[in-house]
DNA sequence: TTTGATGCAAAGTATTTGCAGACTG
DNA sequence: CAGTCTGCAAATACTTTGCATCAAA
């Protein structure tokens, strides 16, 4: 993935919407895009502080919400009040979550969309989005 | 589904574990099993109060947790701190959630387990459980 | 200059927890 | 009658919000 291209795309999109490109906002977005580990809000915040020390957690949350509203970040909320985010591939896709080490892995699945569409047609349900999480032990933790 | 049979099964199972069958606990379990609407904890509590007025919300939560621990209730937690529960079919299965009216519908899907197993085998991931939610507009709300 | 954005601290909210008293087995 | 369960209220923890101040355009 070309992260630089995605960053430019997002900045242009925000500017065109009339959103301001503050240094904090740019730093937050850069972190979200570069981090491949599906970080939590806290993790993003810690990471951002290293390069831009005057950024509050509230602003991180506000930026996340902004990106959610325009569909540019995927939120993976879990029951225990711990949301993790995917700002690199914001379209819904399956995730495999290791309950041992907490790693979240992307998982493309051929024919997945087709299955959903078939189900939708059969039941008269208009699908807008979906969420598919698989929990278990990753190959590293099995050793 | 034979709800009476499931109720008896659960009561026996709890007694055999050494759990006590208090009137509150029995009332809560009865409600969980009878309600087909994937109720929230609050909704269960309100429903229970009608037939057993001296039941606290805390006890409802404690009973839910007990049932979760023994795998007899499925929790569907959503990001906005609203958990809904399925005590009738506690094994993981896909749900279709109407974002208009909030209805949660069960959805059996042939070959679904097979897909997961295939994915697991390819990646060396040991699947323990999964969660599949489809969001959209139900046929009633489309009219 | 205009208005949206930031940052602090306080509020919000579903769920959990501690503990004294009640009740099941 | 031993030990679990209940119910109350306080605690928790992530996220949101209000508002005065700041700064992008």
Same domain flag for B17 and B78: yes
Query: Which CATH number belongs to the domain containing residue A32 in this structure?
Result: 1.10.10.10
By mean pLDDT, which of A71-75, B28-32, B107-111, B124-128 is the weakest?
B107-111
Distance, CA of B50 to C1' of C22, in Å? 22
What is chain A's Cα-based Rg? 17
Distance, CA of A8 to C1' of C23, in Å? 66
pTM, rounded to two decimals: 0.89
Closest residue to B134, CB basis, from A78, A98, A130: A130
Q: What is the pLDDT of residue B109?
A: 76
Q: What is the pLDDT of residue B143?
A: 85
pLDDT in tens, B38-61: 999 999 999 999 989 999 999 999
Same domain flag for A7 and A65: yes
Same domain flag for B23 and B63: yes
Structural domain span for residue A105: 95-142
- The proportion of chain A whose per-residue pLDDT surpasses 90, expressed as a percent, equals 77
Query: Confidence band (pLDDT; 50, 70, 90) for B1?
Result: confident
E strands along chain B, which residues? 74-78, 82-86, 95-98, 104-106, 126-137
Q: What residue in B sits closest to A82 (Cα-Cα)?
A: B79
Same domain flag for A74 and A99: no
Q: What is the pLDDT of residue B31?
A: 96
Same domain flag for A104 and A138: yes
Same domain flag for A75 and A104: no
What's chain A's average pLDDT? Answer: 92
Same domain flag for B13 and B69: yes
Same domain flag for A74 and A135: no
Same domain flag for B76 and B14: yes
| The pLDDT of residue B89 is above 90 | yes
The number of distinct structural domains making up chain A is: 2
B15, B19, B52, B55, B99 from B22: Cα distances, Å: 11, 9, 12, 11, 37
Distance, CA of B134 to C1' of C22, in Å? 45
Q: What is the pLDDT of residue B126?
A: 93
Query: Confidence band (pLDDT; 50, 70, 90) for A87?
Result: very high
Q: Are A123 and B139 within 8 A, CB to CB?
A: yes
Same domain flag for B75 and B132: no
Q: What is the pLDDT of residue B108?
A: 74
Q: How far apart are alpha carbons A126 and A122 in whole angstroms?
A: 11
Judging contacts by C-beta atoms under 8 Å, the chain B residues touching residue A134 are 116, 119-120, 125, 127, 130
Which residue in A71, A81, A72, A80 sits closest to A32, CA to CA? Answer: A72
Query: Which CATH number belongs to the domain containing residue B107 in this structure?
Result: 3.30.1490.190
Same domain flag for B45 and B9: yes
């Amino acid at each position: 993935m070309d992260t630089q291209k995605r960053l430019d795309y997002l900045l242009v999109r925000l500017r065109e919407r009339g959103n301001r490109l503050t240094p904090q906002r740019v730093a937050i977005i850069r972190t979200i895009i570069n981090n491949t580990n599906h970080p939590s809000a806290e993790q993003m915040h810690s990471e951002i502080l290293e390069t831009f020390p005057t950024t509050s957690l509230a602003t991180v949350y506000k930026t996340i919400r902004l990106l959610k509203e325009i569909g540019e970040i995927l939120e993976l909320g879990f029951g225990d009040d711990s949301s993790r985010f995917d700002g690199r591939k914001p379209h819904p896709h399956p995730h495999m979550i290791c309950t041992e080490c907490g790693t979240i892995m992307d998982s493309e699945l051929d024919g997945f969309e087709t299955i959903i569409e078939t189900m939708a047609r059969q039941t008269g349900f208009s699908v807008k989005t979906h969420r598919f999480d698989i929990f278990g032990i990753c190959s590293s933790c099995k050793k």
